Amino acid sequence: MYSAVSGRTIAHWTTWSDWKRLSKRPSPEKKRVLAVFFDLEKAYDTTWRYGILKDLFDLDFRGRLPIFISNFLKDRHFKDKAENTFSSSYHQENGVPQGSILFPMLFNLKINNIINSVSKHVNSSLSVDDFAIYAEGKHLQHLERTVQLCINNVQKWVSENGFRFLVSKTTCVNFHRQRIYTEPALHLDGQPVPVKGEAKFLGVIFDQKLSFENHVKYLKNKCLKALNLLRVVGHTDWGADRATLLKLYRTLVRSKLDYGSVIYGSAKKHVLRALDPIHHQGLRIALGAFRTSPIKSLYAEAGEPSLEHRRMKLAFNYVLKLKSLPHNPCHDVVFKTLLSDFSAVTRSEPNLVANTFEHFKNANINLNIIDNFHVQCPPPWKEHNITVDISLTKQNKENTSEVAYQKEFFRTKEKFSNHYAVFTDGSKLEEKVAAAAYFPEHPDRSKATRLRDGASVFSAELKGIALALTEIKKLTKYHKNFFIYRVGMLREQTRSMKCSQTWAKTSTGEAKEPVENWRRQCVDFGWATRGSPRATF
């Protein structure tokens, strides 16, 4: 129930697990899900401007900001263009200026309130101007009344806020697994809502049985058109090379197959198998392989997994990301749905995400160790500019001696002589990874820790900085200024020092306090060479 929120995928918007769980779970009650997919007519052009200002007022915005928004919205004019001829200028009374940086935020501010009109026992999903409601029940008559009352409330809100539904494109779908059924009868603004066997929502076609057969067919035809471009670009005489063709394939074809795979990946295997020829054909075009080339050889040459493994990988990523977002609307649906709910009846199969839990269990991966994601974005007026001294990285490593590096190190140390020095490092030996923070004047404060096997050196470096920041907070009563030396002299590691300014504690899963708490301290960053006094530990 969010509108254009960063970090949300289609699986979050559709709350697909609800529909999948409610309509396909083995239940003696034979419940069904009645859903209505709305279509807003010219949503951006009909946005009520005064309603935006009213919503700002209701959110307790006062002062210059509402005045700025008001001036931004008023006195807007437009012209129509036909070839080289322009029409007269017309005043735009409503709507938000499309193309402006404030356009998405202002539209979301207005449309998000539509959720408040949804009834208590009805679920909803909103993504920008795509809106849907759905409810679960056993008896169709009770469902009709519940959904109809919700439709009336939504229609009332839409009429009061300047929007309008396009009834001809609004669709009702009755999700069920019954052979004999009765179609529902719903009305929107006095007109009957079309009842269809499927509906397209956020690019995914949902059918009554949630078999996704029609979506797979639609996806296959869409990918076949994209493959034609690969054939043209991959001409044997003047075409692109293998690397370019593979990049085009991943961009134009594989991206379409990936989109919504967490949802339609729960379809039957014989349905999903229809997409495999698309994958193989794209790899053959990119590699210039023969039609008789073995499929496994194509995977090895292109560095691409099969679509089945690709969908499973995306499902893994989705589950791991969702685990760190406990406030996500899909979190409880996914992690509180037991595999036993699907295995109670032999003909019912676990969905794609439910299968991932079995793989996590077999691999001895404990999902409970995943820390919650903390959004920490201090406002500009609270931000403290941290000094990052990268003078050592400007030297050419191949042509600079260790003595020269040490002289530059002592020069940097003299420059920040009023700062308390702290040394951090992260290293990796084979698969073993460790990080440490060294405090010369307080050796008892020095910390060292092991990271999980296989972790990157970049993670170890950030972990070392996180250890230093944790101890620095305890030393503020003894020292005012601190300078963290990152041990090592790799030019490409500059990114770790810059990244650590904002994400050092967050990326290591220990962000229990706002970043601005330690950013207020006078903490600066720099480099130290291996072999420098007190730098190697």
Give the relative orientation of helices 213-233 and 276-287 as an angle to the nearest 10 degrees: 10
- Residue 534 inside a domain? The answer is no
Q: What is the pLDDT of residues 114-132, one digit of tens each?
A: 999 998 889 888 888 889 9
55 and 164 fall within a common domain: yes
Domain of residue 336: give its range.
213-369
- What's CA 356's distance to the chain center, in Å? 19
Question: Which portions of the chain are predicted below pLDDT 70?
Answer: 1-30, 337-350, 375-386, 488-537
- Cα separation of 209 and 211, whole Å? 5
Q: How many domains does the chain have?
A: 3
- Cα separation of 175 and 19, whole Å? 8
- Residue 20 inside a domain? The answer is yes
Determine the pLDDT at residue 375: 64
- Residue 375 inside a domain? The answer is no
- Residue 464 inside a domain? The answer is yes
- Residue 341 inside a domain? The answer is yes
Secondary structure percentages of the chain, helix, strand, coil, to 5: 45, 15, 40
User: 501: Cβ–Cβ under 8 A, 6 or more apart, which residues?
Assistant: 386, 388, 519, 525
192 and 78 fall within a common domain: yes
DSSP string covering 92-153: --SS--TTSTTHHHHHHHHHGGGGGGS-TT-EEEEETTEEEEEEEES-HHHHHHHHHHHHHH
288 and 184 fall within a common domain: no
177 and 219 fall within a common domain: no
Q: Which CATH number goes with the domain that contains 485?
A: 3.30.420
- Give the domain-ending residue among 345, 369, 393: 369
23-29 contacts at long range (C-beta below 8 A, 24 or more positions apart): 23/175, 23/176, 23/177, 23/209, 23/210, 24/177, 24/210, 24/348, 24/351, 25/341, 25/342, 25/348, 26/341, 26/342, 26/344, 26/345, 26/348, 29/138
318 and 365 fall within a common domain: yes
Q: Distances in Å between the alpha carbon of 348 and those of 77, 138, 177, 301?
A: 58, 19, 11, 37
The DSSP letter of residue 383 is: -
User: 305: Cβ–Cβ under 8 A, 6 or more apart, which residues?
Assistant: 299, 313
Q: Are 256 and 230 in contact (CB under 8 A)?
A: no
Other beta carbons within 10 Å of 351: 24
39 and 71 fall within a common domain: yes
317 and 396 fall within a common domain: no
Determine the pLDDT at residue 188: 92
Q: Distances in Å between the alpha carbon of 406 and those of 97, 232, 399, 409, 527?
A: 58, 57, 14, 5, 11
- Residue 482 inside a domain? The answer is yes
- Round the CA-based radius of gyration of the chain to a whole number and report it: 29
- Residue 536 inside a domain? The answer is no
User: If phi over 0 gives left and psi between -120 and 50 gives alpha, with beta otherwise, what is residue 15?
Assistant: left
Exposure class string for 242-255: b at 16+ Cβ within 10 A, else e: eeebbebbbebbbe
Determine the pLDDT at residue 345: 45
pTM, 2 dp: 0.74
DSSP string covering 40-104: BTTTTTT--HHHHHHHHHHTT--THHHHHHHHHHSS-EE--EETTEE---EE--SS--TTSTTHH
Q: Are 22 and 33 in contact (CB under 8 A)?
A: yes
15 and 120 fall within a common domain: yes
DSSP string covering 152-163: HHHHHHHHHTT-
Determine the pLDDT at residue 536: 42
Nearest to 216 by CA among 278, 163, 303, 154: 278
361 and 384 fall within a common domain: no
- Give the domain-ending residue among 210, 228, 250: 210
Q: Are 489 and 405 in contact (CB under 8 A)?
A: yes
- Residue 353 inside a domain? The answer is yes
321 is written with which tokens? 């990301």
384 and 364 fall within a common domain: no
- Cα separation of 524 and 415, whole Å? 12
Residue type, 164: R
Determine the pLDDT at residue 508: 40
- Cα separation of 390 and 410, whole Å? 14
Q: Are 97 and 103 in contact (CB under 8 A)?
A: yes
172 and 254 fall within a common domain: no
Q: Are 110 and 47 in contact (CB under 8 A)?
A: yes
Determine the pLDDT at residue 294: 93
- What's CA 458's distance to the chain center, in Å? 22
Q: Are 89 and 78 in contact (CB under 8 A)?
A: yes
321 and 418 fall within a common domain: no
Nearest to 264 by CA among 233, 218, 228, 304: 218
Residue type, 280: H
- Give the domain-ending residue among 369, 394, 411: 369
Q: What is the dihedral of CA 242, 254, 266, 311, to 10 degrees?
A: 50
Residue type, 145: R
